[in-house]
Structure 1
Amino acid sequence: MIRIVTDTTAALPDGWAARHNIPVVPQVIIFEDQEYLEMVDMDRDTFMARLVAAKTLPSTAAPAPAAFEAVYRPLVAAGDTILSIHPSAEISGTVRGATVAAQAFPGAAIHILDTRTIGGPLARLVMLAARLAAQGQSTAAILAQLQALIPRQRLYFLVDTLEYLQKGGRIGGAAALLGSLLQLKPILGLIAGRVEGIERQRTHRRVLERLQQLVVAEAASGDAAQLSIMHAGAGQQAAALAASLREALATDDILITDLVPAIVTHAGPGALAVGFFTTEES
Structure 2
Amino acid sequence: MSIKILADSACDLSKNHYNDYNIEMVPLTVHLDEKEYADGKEIKPKAIYDAMREGKSPKTSQVSPQTFKTIFTSYAESNQTLIYPALSSELSGTYQTAKMMEQEVKESYPDASIHVIDTNCVSIGLGLIILRAAELAKDGASIDKIIDTITYHSKHMEHIFTVDDLEYLYRGGRVSKTAAFVGTLLKIKPILHVEDGKLIPLEKIRGSKKLLNRMLDIMDERGTDFKNQTIGISHGDDLETAEKYAEMFKEKFGARDIVIEMVGSAIGSHAGPGTIAIFFLNNEYK
What is the TM-score normalised by the length of structure 1? 0.92
More moved, 181-190 vs 253-262:
181-190
Which residue of structure 2 lines up, in the alignment, with residue 71 of structure 1? 71
Residue 105 of structure 1 aligns to a residue whose secondary structure is helix
Which residue of structure 2 lines up, in the alignment, with residue 43 of structure 1? 44
| Cα pair distance change 1:194/1:20, threshold 3 Å | same
Give runs of aligned pairs for residues 37-116 of structure 1, distance below 5 A: 37-53=38-54, 55-106=55-106, 107=110, 108-116=112-120
The one-letter amino acid paired with 2:162 is L
Which residue of structure 1 lines up, in the alignment, with residue 6 of structure 2? 5
CA–CA separation in structure 1 for the residues paired with 2:79 and 2:146: 18
CA–CA separation in structure 2 for the residues paired with 1:179 and 1:34: 30
Which residue of structure 1 lines up, in the alignment, with residue 122 of structure 2? 118
Q: Deviations over 1:53-76 (max 9, x none)?
A: 3x4411110111112223223222
Gapped regions of structure 1 (runs ≥ 5): none
Residue 205 of structure 1 aligns to a residue whose secondary structure is helix
Residue 104 of structure 1 aligns to a residue whose secondary structure is helix
User: How many residues are aligned here?
Assistant: 278
Q: Is 1:220 the equivalent of 2:224? A: yes
CA–CA separation in structure 2 for the residues paired with 1:281 and 1:37: 35
Q: Deviations over 1:238-262 (max 9, x none)?
A: 1011000112121210001101011
How much does 1:202 deviate? 1.6
CA–CA separation in structure 2 for the residues paired with 1:3 and 1:19: 13
CA–CA separation in structure 2 for the residues paired with 1:24 and 1:186: 31
More moved, 35-44 vs 250-259:
35-44
Which of the numbers 226, 235, 239 marks the counterpart of 2:239?
Answer: 235
CA–CA separation in structure 2 for the residues paired with 1:222 and 1:270: 25
How much does 1:45 deviate? 2.6
| Cα pair distance change 1:3/1:281, threshold 3 Å | closer
The one-letter amino acid paired with 1:221 is D
Q: Is 1:247 the equivalent of 2:248? A: no
Runs of 4+ that moved beyond 6 A = none
CA–CA separation in structure 1 for the residues paired with 2:218 and 2:182: 23
What is the TM-score normalised by the length of structure 2? 0.90
Residue 116 of structure 1 aligns to a residue whose secondary structure is strand
Q: Is the 8 A contact 2:21 2:138 kept in 1?
A: no
Give runs of aligned pairs for residues 141-156 of structure 1, distance below 5 A: 141-156=145-160
Which residue of structure 2 lines up, in the alignment, with residue 136 of structure 1? 140
Gapped regions of structure 2 (runs ≥ 5): none
Residue 165 of structure 1 aligns to a residue whose secondary structure is helix
CA–CA separation in structure 1 for the residues paired with 2:179 and 2:151: 32
CA–CA separation in structure 1 for the residues paired with 2:50 and 2:193: 27
Q: Is 1:206 the equivalent of 2:210? A: yes
Q: Is the 8 A contact 2:48 2:58 kept in 1?
A: no
Residue 188 of structure 1 aligns to a residue whose secondary structure is strand
Q: Is the 8 A contact 2:21 2:131 kept in 1?
A: no
Q: Is the 8 A contact 2:167 2:180 kept in 1?
A: no
How much does 1:104 deviate? 3.3
Residue 194 of structure 2 aligns to a residue whose secondary structure is strand
CA–CA separation in structure 2 for the residues paired with 1:103 and 1:207: 45
How much does 1:180 deviate? 5.7
CA–CA separation in structure 2 for the residues paired with 1:135 and 1:56: 45
Q: Is the 8 A contact 1:220 1:278 kept in 2?
A: yes
Question: Percent identity between the aligned chains?
Answer: 26
